[in-house]
Chains A and B, each alone.
Chain A
């Protein structure tokens, strides 16, 4: 079985948000302020004019971290949130009671209420829309003009992502919480 993860050359991000659009298109995510699986955080430049640090203005593309020790999964009262056999954290809309406990528990604000099913939704690594059809990339990855994302199997040492992580230094977000995120930000 695969163990999917994603590496992000986040410094290449130009904040074009093609990924946000592609994700909505591919996965039928509705329009609306709270409805998104993926987003680009903008860190504003630091310093006072004229000493503004250009290097400090960075973009942080983000989505569900597919934590290996996911708080959202631990707190779910009906096991609606579960790990797929590929380590992808998913929500079963049949079992979700919309208690929204998982939204509170996720340290990354990765979850929202899908107004189509009235249950909680989040990034699925495109498992239903692409991986299930034999594709090996995610929509956000395929669309990215600067190729920020590398998606693949962390257990396969020859995969592009494993090779990349073996060579590069990276950090993970809020690692101190012990969530073991599977999004790797290449430094």
Chain B
């Protein structure tokens, strides 16, 4: 840990990239603040969520952040929990990222849950043990505690045994928490397109992919694409892992779609067909999120790590669409199937587009992440320490 002055904290080399990142960070932080003010003034009226579409972009962004966090935690565990030597170096950076992204997620969800304080009280007093949200929330609280302690013993008061102990704890609790988040959707008997085993498993898989993308982005930015040999070796290995994970994801998605449309079960086949025809899916999820990175890794035999860093940008955009579609597609099919007023058509697939406040808060969360990462990078030495 470095003790630094405030002046030093906000000093950075004025390269175009750094200036761009600084501008984006400040703009997004401003957006978050603006969105928060709108929410405080107008409550959920500031959002475009309705009775029929009660969840929207903020739930997506919450999932986006906690997927990122769990992913970073899983990928970092390859090194310091499972002891693969090349991956030891990412430990601190990845765990710092995991703490930062989940904190951003909590900041976003605090502005979506109507009564967060009531939640803290009654989660404890009258726990709903059959609720996936209860488990997810409780386990993520524990997870945050674990990874904070892990980081403490990695970066502040170095202690290998304890950091490994909390690392294993964080990994296990994180996996449980994250699959429970998948179950929040998978348990919905009312939504045949989401109900089932797919989401809990898919969440873990896509978390690992997100973790890989984020490691590529963090290292690409850290070394400005001039990777030292040691980092390059690690990134080539990571790229192979990423390629394999993407292949599994594509396979998995293909079978999800085929089983969903096969036989055209009511409310399921049509919903999935409707969602895969949308550009959010075929362009956002498929091309940006899976095919571009996968092709680059495949064609270059995982060696083109600079290209993979760029592909990680499209990859993260794709991951965003996966999270957005997860929520929207789950709610796509209307639960009220008959019209109730003369002045409407019979209900069909629901429409939803986020409001300004939702965009501001949801994407503003990314600003929180960027800012905290900048600070963490200054205050803690996130590169591998040389004492071991």
Q: Are B190 and A107 in contact (CB under 8 A)?
A: yes
* Residue B278 is within 8 A (CB to CB) of chain A in the complex: no
Q: Are B126 and A78 in contact (CB under 8 A)?
A: yes
Contact of B114 among A60, A95, A97, A179 (CB under 8 A): A97
* Residue A126 is within 8 A (CB to CB) of chain B in the complex: no
Q: When chains A and B are docked, how far (Å) is the Cα of A117 from the Cα of B381? A: 48
Contact of B335 among A42, A109, A179 (CB under 8 A): A109
Q: When chains A and B are docked, how far (Å) is the Cα of A3 from the Cα of B191? A: 28
The minimal Cβ–Cβ distance linking A115 to chain B, given in whole angstroms, is 9
Q: With contacts A34-B51, A77-B123 known, is A96 near B188, CB below 8 A?
A: no
Contact of A119 among B51, B114, B337 (CB under 8 A): B114
Interface residues on A, range: 35 or more
Q: Which of A40, A76, A98, A113: most chain B CB closer than 10 A?
A: A98
* Residue B133 is within 8 A (CB to CB) of chain A in the complex: yes
Closest B residue, CB atoms, query A178: B189
Interface string of A72-89 (1 = CB under 8 A from B): 001111111000000000
Contact of B184 among A74, A95, A101 (CB under 8 A): A101
Q: Are B51 and A96 in contact (CB under 8 A)?
A: no
Which residues on A sit within 8 Å (CB–CB) of B54? 100, 103-104, 113
Q: Are B115 and A77 in contact (CB under 8 A)?
A: no
Q: Are A99 and B51 in contact (CB under 8 A)?
A: no
Q: When chains A and B are docked, how far (Å) is the Cα of A98 from the Cα of B330? A: 19
Q: Are A104 and B55 in contact (CB under 8 A)?
A: yes
Which residues on A sit within 8 Å (CB–CB) of B50? 34
Q: With contacts A34-B51, A80-B122, A95-B122 known, is A104 near B115, CB below 8 A?
A: no
Contact of A101 among B43, B131, B336, B337 (CB under 8 A): B131
Q: When chains A and B are docked, how far (Å) is the Cα of A118 from the Cα of B45? A: 11
Which residues on B sit within 8 Å (CB–CB) of A108? 335-336
Q: Are A98 and B115 in contact (CB under 8 A)?
A: yes
Interface string of B50-78 (1 = CB under 8 A from A): 11101100000000000000000000000
